[in-house]
A and B are shown apart, each in its own frame.
Chain A
């Protein structure tokens, strides 16, 4: 079992460009979560899916951020028109029963 896979591990974009982050959950897990981690804000919940359906996106910024889970094997987080304040480590986690979440290594996004 490879654990949760996130790609790329590092991404550098210019201001105004689009960034797409990928997450492959652990096989058999029904829930996928996205978080953003910064020194200042800590671990911020963004959104989560259960059985591919969006359940709660209350943590997602209202503009420029979107997440999808087109099939049970991957989820994407897309940030349009990236801004320097979007620079963070984006973490994906999956779980079978929502109680124990298994995190991926994260994608470090740097917006210049």
Chain B
């Protein structure tokens, strides 16, 4: 049972565009949603995270928009650069449990 779903599976954008990565979840008890960035040959690295009490979180060019009622969130990468090309994982958890990860979105930013 996949509790966290991501779309699209892969995404290609031009340099300078905003990339939008989507995530949805099933368990309404989830209250913490981190996004991880993974480059080939490396482990995932925490990029940005949001708690369910907020509907938006910004950090540099990365923004999470969170919709608790619809149980979905999105990661916006503003002014995408080729160096942002990576796989992005959405995760979710609630207190007392481990994080569940989505299947990832592979982003390619074309110069």
Contacts and interface: CB of A to CB of B under 8 A. Distances in A.
Contacts, number: 47
B104 A43 contact: yes
Given A4-B43, A91-B43, A93-B43, A101 B99 contact: yes
B100 A45 contact: yes
Given A4-B43, A99-B49, A100-B46, A42 B98 contact: no
A98 B43 contact: no
A13 B32 CA distance: 38
B66 interface: no
Give the interface size class of chain A.
10 to 19
Interface string A54-90: 0010000000000000000000000000000000000
A103 B44 contact: yes
Residue from A43, A45, A98 whose CB has the most chain B CB atoms within 10 Å: A43
17 contacts: A4-B43, A35-B101, A42-B101, A42-B104, A43-B44, A43-B101, A45-B101, A56-B97, A56-B98, A93-B43, A99-B34, A99-B93, A101-B46, A102-B46, A103-B44, A104-B43, A105-B41
